[in-house]
Amino acid sequence: MNLGISGRVAVVTGGSEGIGKASATILAEEGANVVILARTQSKLDAAVAEISSTAVGSIEAVSCDVSDQASVESAFGKVLERHGNVDLLVNNAGHGNANTFDALDQEMLDEDLHLKVHGAMYCSKQVLPGMRANRWGRIVNTTTAAGKAAGYSTLPTAMSRAAGIAMTKSMSKEYGVDGILVNTACIGSIRSAQNMHHAEAAVASGEVAATEEYYTKRCENVPVRRIGEAREAGDLIAFLASERASYISGTAVNMDGGAAPVV
């Protein structure tokens, strides 16, 4: 399917690994000119080299800590100076942070909110003026279904993702008149760099014998009985960021193999 985004400028945060890299890869394959943001330059350089092998559009990287407003303003200043505008924004920066309420403290909550909620706000504010002027834009926020229905020991991620879902819906109401569509992909268990770290730690601790056993255990409650692939999440995000999704806004789409207890 031609997503109709050839020549569009896309920024993907958390773009050096996992879902972000997969999303950037697909957008670049569809002809978008993609800029990936992340904190670690070496990981960014490796991702650019990998993505460029299949890219039709351009691919480049800018180091940025999205939880820091000054860093965001600096990074987007470089992007806007080079490209003039941003048409597609994927707010993907984040990581799993699942703890009990007993374990939750202010430092943990503040860090999670700054990265996932403040970061999405900072980045969105950088691109919205140009999207409004052009009367076309797409913003896709990565969240999880735990933001709709929190489970046991899912804090503070469930809290920050609930805020992200609420922000998505509110933004969609505000900016739809300007031709800007805002959606969120609620991602479940994915075979990503982050989950690989968890799998390797589980092997090292003796919890499981191999990484595949870890993944098997992770999907015991997933109706399709398998873990998702990063590219599958990237496919959904790229679709929501495309011309093909021109009448979809304010949605929170579960991409979790049917695991969520809510629609």
- The residues carrying an active-site annotation are 152
Residue 243 lies inside a defined structural domain of this protein: yes
Residue 198 lies inside a defined structural domain of this protein: no
Q: Compute the distance between CA of residue 38 and CA of residue 20 in angstroms, rounded to an integer.
A: 10
Lowest mean pLDDT among 157-166, 174-183, 202-211: 202-211
Residue 203 lies inside a defined structural domain of this protein: no
Angle, in degrees to the nearest 10, between helices 106-113 and 157-175: 30
DSSP state of 227: P
> Per residue in 52-66, pLDDT tens?
999 999 999 999 999
Residue 140 lies inside a defined structural domain of this protein: yes
Reported pTM: 0.96
Residue 172 lies inside a defined structural domain of this protein: yes
- Determine contact, residues 72/119, Cβ cutoff 8 Å: yes
> Per residue in 63-72, pLDDT tens?
999 999 999 9
Residue 208 lies inside a defined structural domain of this protein: no
- Determine contact, residues 19/44, Cβ cutoff 8 Å: no
Distance of CA 41 to the CA centre of its chain: 19
Q: Compute the distance between CA of residue 129 and CA of residue 136 in angstroms, rounded to an integer.
A: 11
- CATH number of the domain enclosing 37: 3.40.50.720
124: number of Cβ within 10 Å = 21
State phi, psi for 184 to the nearest 5 degrees: -135, 140
> Per residue in 206-244, pLDDT tens?
999 999 999 999 899 999 999 999 999 999 999 999 999
Residue 204 lies inside a defined structural domain of this protein: no
Using only C-alpha atoms, what is the Rg of the chain? 18
Residue 198 is predicted with a pLDDT of: 84
- Where does the pLDDT of residue 25 fall: very low under 50, low under 70, confident under 90, or very high at 90 and above? very high
Mean pLDDT computed over every residue of the chain = 96
- Quick one: 206 exposed, middle or buried, by C-beta within 10 A (0-12, 13-18, 19+)? exposed
Residue 2 lies inside a defined structural domain of this protein: no
- The 3-state DSSP class for residue 162 equals helix
Into how many domains does the chain fold?
Answer: 1
Q: Does residue 196 have a pLDDT over 90?
A: no
Q: 85: domain range?
A: 9-193+228-255
- Here the tokens at position 247 are 């009448």
